[in-house]
Amino acid sequence: MKESAQQATDFLPYYMVPSVYLLADRALLSASGKLERRSVQHWLEQISADNLEPNTLTALYTMRRLRIVYISRGPQWDPEELAESTILERDVLEDVLAQSNAYGQTKLITGAIIQRAAAGDPRLAAKFAVVRPALIIGSSVDGVPNLDDFVWRVVMGCHAIRAFPEQPR
């Protein structure tokens, strides 16, 4: 996993500070599978030993069937173009990153790291998943755009306060 993360950092300019989603200790012990978000410089070296590797091992050997789902942003490219390739391939990832903004790049890198880690071990694959929702949530007629994950942030906020906005009449 560390090798995959290091390869991913090769694509990012040195001045970028990626926002990395880490497994929190409490997430591995709870059924909610919450993720902790941190922004740090030189993130791989600082977090690997303290958080990422131990929590990955804990998730790997936890007897409880806990599944952690990482919600990534929707694709910013034509899915038809990627029919015969995968986002995990280095050249495809480079092209996709070049077409995305900094926020999208960090989301794509994090998703790629999780996918590569899960692809390397079937036990991890059963516990981790990356979901990339579409840019439009709903139908083409009454759907809402989700270009910057705003909808998912609203859903997360509603869940946190146990309330939801009133529907317009």
92 shares its domain with 43: yes
Q: Which of 47, 105, 100 is nearest to 77 (CA)?
A: 100
User: pLDDT tens digits, residue range 103-145?
Assistant: 777 777 777 787 777 878 887 777 777 776 656 666 667 777 6
- Write out the H or E segment, with its range, that includes residue 129: strand 128-131
One domain, residues 69 and 110: yes
One domain, residues 25 and 97: yes
* DSSP assignment letter at 23: E
Q: Could you tell me if 124 and 145 lie in one domain?
A: no
Sort 10 into a burial class: Cβ within 10 Å, 0-12 / 13-18 / 19+.
Answer: exposed
Query: Which range marks the domain in which residue 67 is found?
Result: 2-132
pTM to 2 decimals?
Answer: 0.41
* Tens-place pLDDT, residues 34-46: 444 444 445 455 5
Q: How far is CA 47 from CA 23, 44, 51, 75, 154, in A?
A: 11, 6, 5, 27, 28
Amino acid at 46: Q
Do 53 and 66 reside in the same domain of the chain? yes
Same domain, 125 and 153: no
Specify the number of domains making up the chain. 2
* 7 & 27 share domain: yes
**Residue 112 near residue 3, CB atoms below 8 Å:** no
Same domain, 144 and 82: no
The vertex-67 CA angle with 66 and 72, nearest 5°, equals 150
- Based on the fold, state whether residues 169 and 119 are members of the same structural domain: no
Helix (H, G, I), strand (E, B) or coil at 91: helix
Residues 165, 101 share a domain: no
